[in-house]
Structure 1
Amino acid sequence: MYTVIHCAIAIAFAAFISGCLGAPFKSVNTCGYDVCNLGQSDKLNVHIVPHTHDDVGWLKTVDQYYYGTRNDIQHAAVQYILDSVIQALLENPDRRFIYVEIAFFWRWWMQQTEDMQNTVRKLVNEGHLEFISGGWSMNDEGVTHYSSIIDQHSLGAEFLRDQFGECGRPKLGWQIDPFGHSREVASLFAHMGFDGLFFGRVDFQDYAERNRTKRMEMIWKGSANLGAQSWLFTGILPRVYTAPQSFCFDYRCSDEPIKDDPHLYDYNVPERVQAFIDAAHIQARSYTTNHIMMTMGSDFHYENANEWFKNLEKLIKYVNAQQANGSDVNLFYSTPTCYLYALNKANQTWTTKTDDFFPISFSQHGLWTGYFTSRPALKRYERYSNNILQVTRQLNAFSNSTLRQAIFPLNEAMGIVQHHDAVSGTEKQHVANDYAQRLSEGIDSVIYVINEAYKKLLSKENQSLPVPTQFLCHFSNISECLPIEGQDSFTLTIWNPTIQPIEDMIRVPVTKNYTIRNPTGEFIVAELIPISTPMKNIPGRTSSAQYELLFRAPIPALGFNTYYFQVKTDITIEKKSTIKVTHNEACILQNQHLRIEFDDQGNLNNITNQNRNFTVLFSAQGLYWYTSFPGNNSSPEFQASGAYFFRPLTSNTLPVSNSRNITCTYTNQVQKALIIYNNWASQEIKLYDGARIAEIEWIVGPIPIEDNIGKEIIMRYDTDIQSNGLFYTDANGREVLERKRDYRSTWNYTVYENVSGNYYPIASRIWIKDNKRQITILTDRSEGGSSMHDGSVELMIHRRTLYDDSQGVGEPMNETAYDKGLVICGKHFLIVEPPEYSALYHRPIAQHLYMNSISTYALPNLSYDNYSNSFRQTWSALTESMPYNVHLLTFDQLTSKVFLIRIEHYFEFNEDDTYSKSVEVDLQSLFRNLGKIIYLLELTLGGNLPLNDMKRLVWQTIDNESSYSKSTDSNSLKSTVVTLNPMQIRTFQVTLQ
């Protein structure tokens, strides 16, 4: 339901999207680089950066943090921070402050008077208040998907553009708290027009080496495909993001203030000045120019901004006064933007980096690799919510419903959940519940948009019947859809959000048997298949459905098909079609492409690719667990495994059961092997007719802890592939990086944890290969994964620990539901192909997994004849499918005639002989049903700046390379046909006639 709360939020959002086509607050030479203090050439210039780091949920919910409730958990109140900072900036024109988390600032902004808003605009336009990074939240980089990273940054960028114009546009990324850093994020930031990136957390071994060799700042080559356009200047902060020791002036800190009355017995200016000068010189040893940046602030600081600023101004005054006595230290208020600009003007060459910053170690035994899997249900729900968000945008646009403001609650919830203590799983349980609630309410709000869209798209001309109300069945993944149970008829409408036609295997849980008509009225073949016992036993499942109807559904590109279900009156459910079933016998699953063999103990023996005529042998496949280390965190050797850290007690795994039962089922459309290990672990391997991939659906939980042992559950695939210590993982769902076991390319790596030290975030896929064979596993959510032995791939799918890992959350990773340990149901998709053909399958399948078809049901209470006469049953926005290697990333209606679209080439160079080539796309084909394109404006990736206006800083590397790259002459696009190169995303504002 489109609730009153959603309406209020949507109205507030409409207030800032009303100016989406213009930037009302332009300014010249009053902000950004134009007002930067570049210091003195003969001094050590210390850029003092006042800032606050405001987690968008962590120990408290986002609401509790904003209002300052539950201070018994953590004293934090963002509304007072912003009140205090604004007042402090007005008191002294020299002061500077940066703000990052737009989710909080937007909320505060909507509560201000017009006079206060104008006051803040003046502060922004004069460079006193500066927005950095500008995302709705400071997103995690390991487990987030690139689609959602772009969305949440675009949401913040749109607000800043519409309220503050060019002076509100962030010029760099500020990822000071995430637990590892992705090369893909660097590339995305570069294409958003950022000039640089600063962050705080790196591996302690990496930090020591960079600190020693003055390589704390570098040029990060963010893409192996996109050249200098993806390069990003990157700097590592020396203390994560805190002030130098003893110089924290927040009321939470115990450091002494600057006491500058010489008549006081505890007058401390000389001691404080010398201590700061020493700290500046120590920091400068790690950096290569005469500029350093000192972050002055920390978590939720500046609730009393006067306390900070008053002491900082004393520090600036008295330290600079020592220049008369020969000191070379020069302090001044600054921002990361100005620090970056000073580095750019320093006539310096820089080292480069081509890999990423994963995984990172806090200490010898504390690796931030547990969060790759923590809270797997929330990770899946976030991915599902993004799927619905993208589909809703498309439906709104193609129906010309102009209901963008009603989509805002889901868009905003998704922005919040990208936070590095949200989808990462590193928050308290009540906060995780709040994130899930926000997503749920956001989805509720877009049901209204979906229905308004289908009222137009389903309706035939001159028909008077109301369009049946559509609804989602959120528990289809556990074979439950309560509203259709017992109904004599219902419809299923499936929307395909991709620009190629697809064919899905659809599973509908039922309590009766039905005939199914396709959009042309023909009866289609469907099979009634029993729902597995592990699925029926999932806690919380209330459905009485014992069967699923399985059928093949072709869906047109960017369109829908409707299927009409009518109960069979002459055949009861017991008289189902013939199904062959075997129990605890050796069995073979086989279709036109693959042959999968199991023995009578449920062991997967081999998979044969019949088209390529090769076989992969398996020595083991299935579910295992690591024992969580039960430490007290008193020292590194007693580090426990918890929400952030994955630390197994030993490197050995145990099978979840020493015995298993196998049941193989054969029908015309699917063959499957159900392997039950015990009452809390099972997997079902499915091979659909005509499929080139195998689907592995697993159900794990409640993980038993009665033995007081925490357990980290993995799915492992052990093969005879000679992988030579190498494996390959994706970055945020896009480019793939080569990994080498027990190795880091940028420093001499000492192995302290041989398992978790080899774990990497898997947002969509992981593979191993030899010269002739490649096995690729795709995931339905982000998981941690590795190859611990040659020929082996493992993915952590669930975890339940009994100890906190001392990183602040204060709780073990012990999720429960329905008074039991949490049960997780998920999927892997297995591809066995030669390396040269693998991308042909894993690239489109990965895209389809996160942009899946969305099914809505309806109860029309009409006969099929009446329904088909009144309503359209098939529709597509396209007259013909688009190129196979192109994906429609965003299709968002801004106004009735203006749209924001993103299209991408989703193959890398040299992945495929055909599809790794450049391709042309006619954008007009996307608007066949909407109108003629009369104007195309190409924008930066964030959608907040014309591409022609993007003038990034140019950097030189030590190898005499330049980051300079010429922008496309985007304002003069004479044609609607555009070219895409491998891995390129292009963003356009489209105006229709």
Structure 2
Amino acid sequence: MSCNPGQSDKLNVHLVPHTHDDVGWLKTVDQYFYGARNNIQHAGVQYILDSVIQSLVQNPERRFIYVEMAFFWRWWNQQASEMQETVKELVNNGRLEFISGGWCMNDEAATHYNSIIDQHSLGFAFLKNTFGDCARPKIGWQIDPFGHSRELASLFAQMGFDGLFFGRADYEDYKQRNKTKTMEMVWKASANLDRQSWLFTGVLPNGYNPPDGFCFDLFCDEQPIMDDPRLHDYNVPNKAVGFATNHIIMTMGSDFQYENSNEWFKNLDKLIHYVNEQQVNGSDVNVFYSTPSCYLYALNKAGHKWTSKIDDFFPYAHHPHGFWTGYFTSRAALKRFERHSNNILQAARQLNAYAAINNQANLFFLNEALGIAQHHDAVSGTEKQHVADDYAMRLAYGIDKAFEVINASLTKLMTKPEKSTPTAPQFLCQYLNISECLPIENQERFTLTLYNPTVHPRIHFARVPVTRDYTIRDPDGQVIMTNLLKIPKATYSIPGRKSFAEFELVFKTVLPALGFNTYYFEVNAEKESLLYKLVENNEISKNNACTLQNQRVRVDFDESGNLKQITNLDKSITVPMKQDFFYYEGLYLYYLAFIIFVNNRLFLAFPGNNTKSEFQASGAYIFRPQSEESYSVSDTRTITCVKTENVQTAQIIHNSWVSQQITIHDGQPFVEVEWTIGPINIKDSVGKEIIVRYDTDIKSNKKYYTDANGREILERVRDYRPTWNYTVAEPVSGNYYPINSRIYIKEPNRQLTILTDRSEGGGSIEDGSIEILIHRRTLYDDALGVGEPLNETAYGTGLVVRGRHWLIVENPDSSALFHRIGAQQIYMAPIATFSLVKSTFKDYSENYYTTWSALNEVLPLNVHLLTFDLQEITADNVAKYLIRVEHYFENNEDPDYSQPVIIDLQALFTQGQIVDMVELTLGANLELKDLSRLEWVTVDGETSKRSPFKKCKFHLKTETNDFEF
């Protein structure tokens, strides 16, 4: 790639032509690509790419960058070979450059690092297979996401990127950086990976838009450059702009621009010509076409020493009352569905690899749907409702295709070699979270297979909704002790639930690492008529004080259903606790001020239309409570405690639309809180932001801790920002941060950790307190583009959302083991598949394996298998796998589990011998030995030169080689 280096004695203005193409937002991804429904938004990506390629061919000086592979892949597959060859030539010459290279420009708050890696790997693989090494992305381009994650910067560095540019920074942060000329910095993006995580990062001067007066497209109102001095509107001198640095980047483009690229490029050609023409008259401005890579290279050669940063860029606000923290929780059901879909994908990849089904084509559908779902207007929840429905539809279709792989794989792994009859087809029950599995209702016999996608054996408590009582046999044929529980009314009456099952069978299992167990169900004819009596035999108390207790934890409630305290029996640590559901009233707007009465309380509706900071409304992006005060969803509640051998639960009903179950399981240290929220009551015409708050006596001293995309932990301090003097305008939303998997508060000897099953927003607004926003229903738009309130409905009423928190009370010195393992168990949950059978257990077990594990030996507890994916099987029957293994404890997090470990990758294979191994960058598109990154020097004299650092050592001996990584 050739770059214009600029001139040392001039202000070098790097013009970067680009288009920002949202992979769904106001329209679906298909509608954006084809240019459909332009009454919503005029945008047609296929025409942008058509037009840009033609313009690049016309003038060899022109450059263009493209980001979203979800669109480019579609366009590429529609092109004739002649056009494809033209594009390849443009790529090879550096005139068309792919930046970031992911399937989308992903959100940074609600995304898990596993999915971030996957969606970039999907785009990287397409680029490498299509264009070769010349197309390898080297720059991160996160110009539109609403806040920026330190973990994403670390991942980009590990992918081999040289730099990152983004467009949005908090208005106070931006002002300070602009004043001190620190818009560009070295981001030290990991406290654990040292310099291999450092990434040069720049905040773009105009967001991602062109400077005022420099928009030349179908949507623009600016006048074109009129270059004939004889004409009355000759305006070239007005376009010259001065900057204070030797190199400056200017983004020339915006949302879905360059559909008429000729208009853009023709005016930019003139701008370059006429501005540079003034150099003979003493002008020191030098303007030219460039790319982010060329700009970064010029900065690297400038010999400047850069400031550094170690925290992240959350939360983001664009004015004092505009904190973009609502989207941390918006569309809570979609956020959970995305997480569940990834769970299915990882299990399907593993089973496909071990069974050697070699069905990557079917896996692509879910991989691609998840790639799209990572977009910053997808999992973020900031899209229109019909677009959110489209994302969910794509995930559901992807799951159906991936399950074909799971079914074929399990069939092959289960069927004994000497038997020719495969097992009956497996099927998923997608509504087990609401205790529904229609195909097994009233069946005489069926099997349940539980596949554990982690590399460690795990205890699991299976819950199966039933209409009859069953005897359950384990893989060895032994009858399992089960408990029969009545399904709570709040679950039974969820809108859309079709099941007649009123009961759940609960039993304890121990699942093999990377393996499955099959459990055989047969109707218990003797007890079937006694179904209700069996349930009534459980120890039940209603509206009395009760205590749930197993071998490791105790939870105490009073007679009014209030949680009183949690005790860790292993460590004799007690945390007094109050837990309740509250709601904030989202700030709404009217064009005229008027008074409304709700439950005899007076509210003044603020006049406004979102045009000023003080009139900002709460919506899909913005969380802006009407005041700091929150209101309990109910003054009274009922409690029913049920105790069995396997499970003890407190069922608490707060009102007709808020309920929860607080549960402990036999031998487990976690306290599970399963909440059911909705339909949120809006009969009072007030939108509500539902939170769950856990209040303790822990002296947290304004500090709390949240994870970054499910990986490292960052310290937060209430009403404080590490890099500028923070002005407190929104005491609640200004202290909310993304919670991707966990949040905790602590003091020297006690720590309360809360694990989540999806991304949510929350914080510690008072010492000793954690609050998490779990569901939102707003009645007004926040005027940031989506154009509709966040008012989700289903089955003719407000959407019901169900989710889980796990509470852990521990000593801070040992808490990491529990929250790391616990979060992993939530994220990579066992996959439950069912099958209808007619044979007896004896016949079934003679024909099929009832237990299986892929491992020769269990891997250390601090090692996680992130990716196990069969890439291809060659003609000579050699299988190639992509494997990502990580040590996922941080430095000094645990005295034992933070230590380095040595593992033998051969342990991942029960069959076959590893004959060769190559270490790749994180994105799997470059051998690590070939990686060479730009080096940077900080103002402290530190260099970013990569130093070797590994917490996992991989040792592998083969017949011909001895590998150590």
Query: TM-score higher than 0.5 here?
Result: yes
Report the Cα distance in structure 2 between the residues aligned to 1:634 and 1:186, rounded to whole angstroms: 34
- The match for 2:594 is none
Amino acid at match of 1:841: F
- Structure 1 pair 66/589, CA: closer, same or farther in 2 (3 Å)? same
Residue 608 (1) aligns with residue 567 (2): yes
Report the Cα distance in structure 1 between the residues aligned to 2:237 and 2:734, rounded to whole angstroms: 46
Report the Cα distance in structure 2 between the residues aligned to 1:360 and 1:450, rounded to whole angstroms: 41
Q: Which residue of 552, 558, 567 maps to 1:599?
A: 558
- The match for 1:25 is none
- The match for 1:964 is 945
Deviation of the 1:968 alpha carbon: 8.5
Residue 504 (1) aligns with residue 481 (2): no
- The match for 1:923 is 905
Q: Secondary structure at the match of 2:753?
A: strand
Q: Which residue of 419, 444, 467 maps to 2:423?
A: 467
Q: Provide, for residues 930-985 of structure 1, a one-character-per-residue CA deviation record: whole Å limited to 9, x for no partner.
A: x1111110000000000011100000000110000146899x998359xxxxxxxx
Q: Which residue of 40, 53, 63 maps to 1:96?
A: 63
* Paired residues for 1:777-788 under 5 Å: 777-788=754-765
- The match for 2:927 is 946
- The match for 2:325 is 369
* Paired residues for 1:116-515 under 5 Å: 116-272=83-239, 276-277=240-241, 281=242, 284-285=243-244, 289-515=245-471
- Structure 1 pair 968/721, CA: closer, same or farther in 2 (3 Å)? closer
Report the Cα distance in structure 1 between the residues aligned to 2:444 and 2:776, rounded to whole angstroms: 42
Report the Cα distance in structure 1 between the residues aligned to 2:277 and 2:83, rounded to whole angstroms: 36
Residue 582 (1) aligns with residue 531 (2): no
Deviation of the 1:622 alpha carbon: 1.5
Q: Secondary structure at the match of 1:540?
A: coil
Deviation of the 1:190 alpha carbon: 0.2
Report the Cα distance in structure 1 between the residues aligned to 2:895 and 2:347, rounded to whole angstroms: 31
Q: Is the 8 A contact 1:158 1:944 kept in 2?
A: yes
Q: Secondary structure at the match of 2:534?
A: coil
- The match for 2:663 is 686
Q: Structure 1-normalised TM-score? A: 0.93
Q: Secondary structure at the match of 2:956?
A: coil
Deviation of the 1:269 alpha carbon: 2.2
Number of residue pairs matched?
A: 933
- The match for 1:982 is none
Residue 906 (1) aligns with residue 888 (2): yes
Deviation of the 1:58 alpha carbon: 0.1
Amino acid at match of 2:896: T
Q: Is the 8 A contact 2:412 2:422 kept in 1?
A: no
Q: Provide, for residues 892-939 of structure 1, a one-character-per-residue CA deviation record: whole Å limited to 9, x for no partner.
A: 00112100000001100111110000111111111222x111111000
Q: Is the 8 A contact 1:365 1:752 kept in 2?
A: yes
Deviation of the 1:262 alpha carbon: 2.3
Report the Cα distance in structure 2 between the residues aligned to 1:969 and 1:374, rounded to whole angstroms: 38
Amino acid at match of 2:819: H
Deviation of the 1:48 alpha carbon: 0.4
Q: Provide, for residues 16-48 of structure 1, a one-character-per-residue CA deviation record: whole Å limited to 9, x for no partner.
A: xxxxxxxxxxxxxxx2xxx11110000000000
- The match for 2:681 is 704
Residue 628 (1) aligns with residue 595 (2): no
Deviation of the 1:503 alpha carbon: 1.0
Q: Secondary structure at the match of 1:769?
A: strand
Report the Cα distance in structure 2 between the residues aligned to 1:973 and 1:832, rounded to whole angstroms: 35
Segment of structure 1 superposing worse, 260-269 or 470-479: 260-269
Q: Provide, for residues 357-393 of structure 1, a one-character-per-residue CA deviation record: whole Å limited to 9, x for no partner.
A: 0001111101000000000000000000000000000
Residue 873 (1) aligns with residue 853 (2): no
Q: Which residue of 804, 824, 840 maps to 2:781?
A: 804
Q: Secondary structure at the match of 1:571?
A: helix
Q: Is the 8 A contact 2:428 2:834 kept in 1?
A: yes
Deviation of the 1:597 alpha carbon: 0.7
Amino acid at match of 1:291: H
Residue 659 (1) aligns with residue 639 (2): no
Q: Is the 8 A contact 1:900 1:987 kept in 2?
A: no
Amino acid at match of 1:820: T
Report the Cα distance in structure 1 between the residues aligned to 2:566 and 2:842, rounded to whole angstroms: 47
Report the Cα distance in structure 2 between the residues aligned to 1:662 and 1:315, rounded to whole angstroms: 72
Q: Secondary structure at the match of 1:576?
A: helix
- The match for 1:18 is none
- Structure 1 pair 808/879, CA: closer, same or farther in 2 (3 Å)? same
Deviation of the 1:987 alpha carbon: 13
Deviation of the 1:264 alpha carbon: 1.9
Structure 1 gaps of 5+ residues are 1-30, 978-985, 989-993
Deviation of the 1:60 alpha carbon: 0.2
Report the Cα distance in structure 2 between the residues aligned to 1:589 and 1:872, rounded to whole angstroms: 38
Deviation of the 1:166 alpha carbon: 1.3
Q: Is the 8 A contact 2:63 2:95 kept in 1?
A: yes
Q: Provide, for residues 770-791 of structure 1, a one-character-per-residue CA deviation record: whole Å limited to 9, x for no partner.
A: 1110000000000001001000
Deviation of the 1:860 alpha carbon: 2.1
CA RMSD of aligned residues (A): 1.5
Amino acid at match of 2:910: R
Q: Secondary structure at the match of 1:361?
A: coil
Q: Secondary structure at the match of 1:781?
A: coil
Report the Cα distance in structure 1 between the residues aligned to 2:955 and 2:268, rounded to whole angstroms: 54
- Structure 1 pair 249/658, CA: closer, same or farther in 2 (3 Å)? same
Report the Cα distance in structure 2 between the residues aligned to 1:445 and 1:778, rounded to whole angstroms: 30
Residue 56 (1) aligns with residue 37 (2): no
Report the Cα distance in structure 2 between the residues aligned to 1:84 and 1:908, rounded to whole angstroms: 48
Identity of aligned residues (%): 62
- The match for 1:549 is 505
- The match for 1:727 is 704
Q: Provide, for residues 406-438 of structure 1, a one-character-per-residue CA deviation record: whole Å limited to 9, x for no partner.
A: 100000000000000000000000000000000
Q: Provide, for residues 170-209 of structure 1, a one-character-per-residue CA deviation record: whole Å limited to 9, x for no partner.
A: 1010000000000000000000000000000010000000
Structure 2 gaps of 5+ residues are 590-608, 874-878
Deviation of the 1:634 alpha carbon: 2.5
- Structure 1 pair 459/987, CA: closer, same or farther in 2 (3 Å)? farther
Q: Secondary structure at the match of 1:366?
A: coil
* Paired residues for 1:878-893 under 5 Å: 878-893=855-870
Q: Provide, for residues 432-454 of structure 1, a one-character-per-residue CA deviation record: whole Å limited to 9, x for no partner.
A: 00000000000011121111111
Q: Secondary structure at the match of 1:541?
A: coil
Amino acid at match of 1:150: I
Q: Secondary structure at the match of 2:55?
A: helix
Deviation of the 1:650 alpha carbon: 0.5
Q: Secondary structure at the match of 1:235?
A: strand
Q: Provide, for residues 598-631 of structure 1, a one-character-per-residue CA deviation record: whole Å limited to 9, x for no partner.
A: 111111111111121121112x202111010013
Segment of structure 1 superposing worse, 344-353 or 570-579: 570-579
Q: Structure 2-normalised TM-score? A: 0.96
Report the Cα distance in structure 1 between the residues aligned to 2:705 and 2:14, rounded to whole angstroms: 40
Report the Cα distance in structure 2 between the residues aligned to 1:210 and 1:458, rounded to whole angstroms: 61
Deviation of the 1:268 alpha carbon: 2.1
Q: Is the 8 A contact 1:187 1:231 kept in 2?
A: yes
Residue 975 (1) aligns with residue 942 (2): no
